[in-house]
């Protein structure tokens, strides 16, 4: 099992639950130091894969290493995500959150697709209930021309979630299952800020659930794979996607734009 962003927060909590159940887990982390500490904490059934989902080159390098090290890649959890406070463009010219939260898992799915098909893999997208507040403008959102310190996170999570039905359709005859979930309102470092706003956020987060609470539904979706594919779960309950995520025309435009920009079929 491979978990991106597996060195802390929900990713690490998910890995702890899976390892406790006897699974072997690979943690993908940008920081070797933090990743090694997380893997050591989990014991001999955990290992580190250093990988960065910040740009196209990083995703390609990660995909290559995963293929080399894990020919039997049966489970991938897309957990890595960011919530930036300001507009930053990555090496490819995309707004960073749009790339990391949306394009990186899209590209990784394509680069690993042959393994998924060969193994009948399970793919899980860790999403966010805030997607319902998102609005994606395919001419502005990819480069952050409509960047907003709060709304952009919702926009990018919406874009990622709109790919769910399309991947499910693409893989329906390949034995590959892809589902997504909102794990709850969880106390992690995501979206942390400096200054007075950051202090207020820390106080608010004290009322939120710990990472372990978010790890449980992710681990359940990995170990108790539903018969359906393309489903969305609010914690443990399968829930219909909100209308904002069901715009098929926009979803296909986002898919086509991503495919062209990333040179994947």
Rounded (10°) angle between helices 9-20 and 32-42: 30
Q: How far apart are CA 125 and CA 142, in angstroms?
A: 20
Alpha helices in the chain (DSSP H): 9-20, 32-42, 56-69, 96-98, 104-111, 113-119, 151-162, 164-170, 195-205, 211-223, 248-262
Residue among 98, 99, 147, 153 flagged as catalytic? 153
Structural contact between residues 120 and 72, judged by C-beta atoms closer than 8 angstroms: no
The closest of 81, 230, 63 to 163, measured between CA atoms, is 230
Does the annotation mark 153 as catalytic? yes
User: Which helix (DSSP H) or strand (DSSP E) does residue 177 occupy?
Assistant: strand 177-182
Residues 55, 76 contacting (CB under 8 angstroms): no
- Which active-site residues does the annotation give? 153
């Amino acid at each position: 099992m491979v978990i991106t962003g597996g060195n802390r927060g929900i990713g690490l909590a998910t890995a702890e639950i899976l390892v406790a159940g006897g699974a072997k887990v690979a943690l993908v982390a940008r920081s070797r130091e933090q990743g090694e500490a997380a893997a050591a904490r989990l014991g001999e059934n955990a290992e580190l894969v250093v990988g960065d989902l910040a740009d196209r080159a990083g995703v390609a390098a990660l995909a290559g290493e995963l293929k080399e090290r894990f020919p039997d890649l049966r489970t991938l959890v897309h957990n890595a995500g960011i919530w930036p406070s300001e507009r930053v463009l990555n090496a490819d010219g995309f707004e960073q959150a749009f790339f990391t939260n949306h394009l990186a898992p899209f590209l990784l799915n394509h680069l690993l697709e042959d393994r998924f098909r060969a193994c009948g893999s399970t793919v899980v997208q860790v999403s966010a209930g805030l997607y319902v507040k998102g609005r994606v403008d395919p001419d502005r959102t990819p480069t952050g021309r409509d960047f907003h310190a709060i709304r952009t996170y919702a926009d990018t999570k919406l874009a990622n979630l709109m790919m769910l039905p399309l991947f499910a359709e693409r893989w329906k005859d390949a034995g590959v299952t892809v589902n997504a979930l909102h794990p709850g309102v969880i106390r992690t470092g995501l979206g942390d800020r400096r200054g007075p706003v950051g202090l207020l956020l820390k106080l608010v987060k004290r009322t939120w659930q710990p990472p372990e609470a978010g790890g449980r539904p992710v681990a359940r979706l990995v170990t108790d794979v539903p018969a359906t594919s393309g489903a969305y779960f609010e914690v443990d309950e399968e829930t219909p996607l909100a209308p904002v995520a069901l715009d098929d025309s926009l979803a296909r435009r986002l898919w086509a734009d991503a495919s062209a920009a990333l040179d994947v079929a």
